[in-house]
C-alpha cells in the first residue's frame, strides 16, 4: 500500500472512530472534533499537544486491522488527557515518568468505568490502588506513586511494569512548546497549490521517546504550513479545553436527566467536575458564585470612538454616541466562607486557603463594592462568625487569623447558622457557601437553595459529598 492511500485510510479510520465514540458519548461532541489529525511518519505511537492529534498512518491502519487494538480507544485516550488538562500539568511535575504513568492510570479508570475497555490486567491494578484508599485522579496517583517510590514500597521496575500496562499514547508532545517549530511541522488536509499538486515531502520524522524531543514532523502527502498562523499558545489552549470540558460537563448533566444513564455516567460527571484543578480552575470555580449585575460606571468597552468623533466633526460639539453609564459585571455580594477548624486541618493550610481566595476575588474584580461575607469557623460547633464588608476587612481578618476549636467535625451547624441569619433578615442575596475542610465530618441531608461547595486540600482520597453540593480539590502548592 503506497503512502498516499495509507494516509487516506488512516484519516477515514479516525473519522469512523469519532462517529463511533459520538454515538456512546454524545456530550463529548466538541471534544472529539477539537483535535486536528496530523499524519507523521515514524512516530512510535500516537499523541497530542492539545491542538493536533499526531499519528503514523501505516501504524494506525495496522492497529485497526488487528483484533487486539481499538483505535477509537487510542483516540479517546488522547482527547481525555486534554479534557482533564494533563498536558498542561506535565511541566509542573519534576518527575515526568511518574506523572505520565499517573495520568494514564487515571484515564484508564475513566474509560473502564464507562465500559469502553475490559483489560483484565489493568482492572486488577486499579483495584489494588483502590484497596489502598488511593483516589484515582492523576494528582493523587502521582503523589501516591512518588511517596511509595521514595519509601521503598515501589521500585523502578514496578513503575516500568505499570507503564507497560497502562501506556496508550505518547506524551512527548506535552512537553514540547505549544507552538511546534514551523520549519519542521506539516499537516494533512491543507489546500492544494494552484497547479493541483500536493506539497513537497519532508524528511522522516525523528522522535526521541526517551528524551521527549521532537525534531521534525512530516509526511510525503502533507503540505507544510510554513508561513501560516501559529498554533494557539499554552494559555489559549488551556482556555479552550477548560471551555470544552465545561460544555461536556453540562451536556452530561442534561444527558443523565434525560436518559438516566446511571452509575457509569455519574462517575464520569464527578471526575469531569472535580479532577481539573489548578489555580485557573479555582478562579473559574469561584466565579460560579458570582451574579451578573449592572454597576453605575462608564463602560468604555462598549464605547464606539468612530461614531463619537464623527459626530464632533459633523456637528461641532455633539457626539452621535456617548459611553454607557452602566456596565454589566459578575459580582459577589452576600457570601459565606466556612472553615473546618477540627484538629486535622492545619493553620498553615487554612491561612493559605483564605489568602488564595482573597487574591482571586480581588484580582478578578468579582467582589461587590459593599460586600457581606460571613467567615464562620466550626469544628463540631460554631466557634466564630465574623462579618466582613469590604476588601480591607477581609485582608485584616486574614492577617490576624486565629483558629478556634480543634474538636471533632460536623458540617451541619454552619448550615443551621446560615438559616438563622436569613431568618433574621441577613444574607438576603446569598450566592453560596464554600466550606474548606478535610472531608471527615457529618454532611447535612437536605439540599440548600444556594450554591454549596466543599473545598479539599491535599485529598488523596475521593470524598463523597451530597449530590446537591459541589466539590473542588486544591493542591497545597496551588495555594502558595
For residues 52 and 96, state if they share a domain.
yes
Same-domain status, 339 and 236:
no
- In a domain, residue 102? The reply is yes
Q: What is the pLDDT of residue 322?
A: 56
In a shared domain, residues 342 and 444: yes
- Check residue 177 and give its pLDDT: 45
Confidence of residue 228 (pLDDT cuts 50, 70, 90): very low
Model confidence over 421-480: pLDDT tens digits? Answer: 999 998 888 878 999 988 788 899 888 988 888 888 655 566 778 878 887 777 655 555
Based on the domain organization, do 244 and 383 belong to the same domain?
no
**Between the CA of residue 29 and those of 3, 113, 247, what are the distances in Å?**
30, 19, 9
Do both 89 and 44 map to the same domain? Answer: yes
Query: Within a domain: residue 352?
Result: yes
User: Where does residue 402 rank: exposed (0-12), middle (13-18), buried (19+ CB within 10 A)?
Assistant: exposed
Q: Are residues 38 and 94 in the same domain?
A: yes
- Whole-Å CA distances, 469 to 274, 448, 463: 12, 8, 12
Q: What are 33-54's pLDDT values in tens digits?
A: 999 999 988 888 899 999 999 9
The reported pLDDT for the residue numbered 230 is 45
Rounded to whole angstroms, the Cα distance separating 348 from 50 reads 36
- 9 falls in which pLDDT band (50, 70, 90)? very high
The x, y and z cell numbers of residue 320, run together, are: 452621535
Quick one: which of 457, 464, 452, 450 has its CA closest to 478? 457
DSSP state of 346: -
Domain identity same for 266 and 285 = no
Task: Say if residue 413's pLDDT is above 90.
Answer: yes
Q: Could you please report the per-residue DSSP string of 357-401?
A: HHHHHHHTT-EEEEEEEEEEEESSSEEEEEEE-SHHHHHHHHHT-
Domain boundary residue among 218, 243, 275? 275
**Phi, psi torsion values for 41, nearest 5 degrees:** -80, 140
Given this model, what pLDDT does residue 2 score? 83
Mean pLDDT along residues 372-387: 91
Q: What is the mean pLDDT of the chain?
A: 74
Helix (H) or strand (E) holding 434: strand 430-437
Report if residue 351 sits inside a domain: yes
Instruction: Name the pTM for this structure.
Output: 0.64
Region 306-320: what's the mean pLDDT? Answer: 62
Of 420, 471, 474, nearest to 443 (Cα)? 471
Tell me how far apart the terminal alpha carbons of the chain are, to the nearest angstrom. Answer: 56
pLDDT band at 220 (very low <50, low <70, confident <90, very high): very low
User: How many C-beta atoms surround the C-beta of residue 262 within 10 A?
Assistant: 9
Any alpha helices (H) in 51-155, and if so which ranges? 57-65, 71-83, 86-89, 96-113, 120-131, 138-150
Same domain, 22 and 146: yes
- Cβ neighbourhood burial of 133 (10 Å; 0-12, 13-18, 19+): exposed
For the residues 140-166, what does the mean pLDDT come to? 90
- What percent of the chain lies above the pLDDT cut of 90? 24
pLDDT in the model for residue 182: 38
Q: What's the confidence (pLDDT) of residue 348?
A: 79
- Residue 389 maps to which CATH number? 3.40.50.410
Examine the domain organization and report whether 268 and 289 are in the same domain: no
Per-residue pLDDT band at 282 (split at 50, 70, 90): low
Q: Which domain holds residue 84?
A: 3-173+232-275
Give the pLDDT of residue 195.
38
Judged by DSSP in three states, 36 sits in: strand
Percentage helix, strand, coil for the chain under 3-state DSSP, each rounded to 5: 45, 15, 35
Cα–Cα distance measured from residue 412 to residue 4, given in angstroms and rounded to the nearest whole number:
66
Q: Quick one: 395 and 265 in the same domain? A: no
Task: Give how many domains the chain has, as a whole number.
Answer: 2
**Same domain as 368, residue 252:** no
Last residue of a domain, one of 218, 245, 275: 275
C-alpha 134/C-alpha 412 separation (Å) is: 27
What is the number of residues in the chain? 480
pLDDT for 243 equals 87
User: What is the pLDDT at residue 52?
Assistant: 92
Burial 286-298 (b: 16+ CB within 10 A, else e): beebbeeeeeeee
In-domain check, residue 28: yes
Work out the average pLDDT over 84-107: 84
Cell (9 digits) for 145: 506513586
The mean per-residue pLDDT over the stretch 405-412 comes to 84
Handedness of CA 114, 117, 121, 122 (dihedral sign): negative
Q: Are 57 and 2 in contact (CB under 8 A)?
A: no
pLDDT at 477: 54
Q: What gap in Å lies between CA 248 and CA 202, rounded to an integer?
A: 38
Long-range contact set of residues 297-302: C-beta below 8 Å, sequence gap at least 24? 297/325, 297/326, 297/327, 298/323, 298/324, 298/325, 298/327, 299/323, 299/324, 299/325, 299/326, 299/327, 299/328, 301/327, 302/327
pLDDT at 296 over 60: no
**203 located within any domain:** no
Amino acid at each position: 500500500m503506497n503512502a498516499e492511500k495509507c494516509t487516506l485510510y488512516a484519516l477515514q479510520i479516525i473519522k469512523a472512530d469519532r462517529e463511533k465514540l459520538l454515538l456512546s458519548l454524545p456530550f463529548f461532541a466538541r471534544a472529539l472534533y477539537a483535535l486536528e489529525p496530523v499524519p507523521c511518519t515514524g512516530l512510535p505511537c500516537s499523541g497530542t499537544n492539545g491542538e493536533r492529534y499526531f499519528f503514523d498512518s501505516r501504524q494506525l491502519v495496522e492497529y485497526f486491522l488487528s483484533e487486539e487494538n481499538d483505535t477509537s480507544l487510542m483516540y479517546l485516550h488522547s482527547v481525555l488527557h486534554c479534557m482533564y488538562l494533563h498536558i498542561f500539568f506535565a511541566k509542573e511535575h519534576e518527575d515526568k515518568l511518574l506523572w505520565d504513568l499517573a495520568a494514564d492510570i487515571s484515564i484508564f479508570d475513566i474509560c473502564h468505568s464507562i465500559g469502553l475497555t475490559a483489560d483484565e490486567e489493568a482492572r486488577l491494578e486499579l483495584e489494588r490502588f483502590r484497596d489502598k484508599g488511593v483516589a484515582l485522579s492523576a494528582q493523587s496517583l502521582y503523589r501516591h506513586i512518588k511517596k511509595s517510590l521514595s519509601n521503598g514500597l515501589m521500585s523502578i521496575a514496578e513503575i516500568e511494569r505499570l507503564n507497560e500496562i497502562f501506556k496508550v499514547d505518547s506524551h512527548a508532545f506535552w512537553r514540547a512548546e505549544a507552538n511546534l517549530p514551523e520549519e519542521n511541522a506539516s499537516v494533512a488536509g491543507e489546500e492544494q497549490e494552484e497547479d493541483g499538486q500536493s506539497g513537497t515531502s519532508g524528511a522522516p520524522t525523528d522522535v526521541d521517546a526517551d528524551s521527549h524531543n521532537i525534531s521534525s514532523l512530516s509526511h510525503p502527502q502533507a503540505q507544510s504550513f510554513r508561513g501560516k498562523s501559529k498554533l494557539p499558545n499554552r494559555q489559549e489552549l488551556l482556555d479552550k479545553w477548560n471551555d470544552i470540558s465545561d460544555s461536556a460537563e453540562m451536556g452530561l448533566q442534561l444527558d443523565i436527566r434525560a436518559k438516566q444513564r446511571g452509575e457509569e455516567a455519574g462517575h464520569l460527571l464527578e471526575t469531569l467536575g472535580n479532577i481539573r484543578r489548578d489555580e485557573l480552575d479555582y478562579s473559574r470555580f469561584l466565579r460560579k458564585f458570582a451574579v451578573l449585575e449592572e454597576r453605575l460606571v462608564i463602560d468604555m468597552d462598549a464605547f464606539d470612538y468612530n461614531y463619537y468623533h464623527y459626530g464632533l466633526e459633523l456637528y461641532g460639539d455633539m457626539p452621535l454616541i456617548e459611553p454607557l453609564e452602566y456596565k454589566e459585571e459578575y459580582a459577589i455580594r452576600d457570601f459565606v466562607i466556612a472553615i473546618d477548624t477540627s484538629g486535622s486541618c492545619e493553620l498553615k493550610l487554612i491561612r493559605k486557603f483564605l489568602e488564595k481566595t482573597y487574591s482571586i476575588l480581588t484580582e478578578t474584580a468579582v467582589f461587590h463594592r459593599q460586600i457581606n461575607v460571613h467567615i464562620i469557623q466550626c469544628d463540631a460547633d460554631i466557634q466564630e462568625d465574623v462579618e466582613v464588608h469590604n476588601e480591607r476587612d477581609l485582608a485584616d481578618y486574614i492577617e490576624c487569623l486565629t483558629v478556634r476549636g480543634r474538636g471533632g467535625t460536623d458540617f451541619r451547624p454552619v448550615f443551621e447558622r446560615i438559616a438563622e441569619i436569613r431568618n433574621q433578615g441577613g444574607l438576603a442575596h446569598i450566592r453560596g457557601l464554600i466550606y474548606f475542610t478535610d472531608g471527615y465530618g457529618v454532611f447535612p441531608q437536605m439540599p440548600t437553595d444556594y450554591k454549596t461547595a466543599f473545598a479539599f486540600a491535599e485529598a488523596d482520597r475521593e470524598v463523597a459529598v451530597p449530590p446537591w453540593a459541589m466539590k473542588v480539590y486544591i493542591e497545597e502548592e496551588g495555594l502558595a
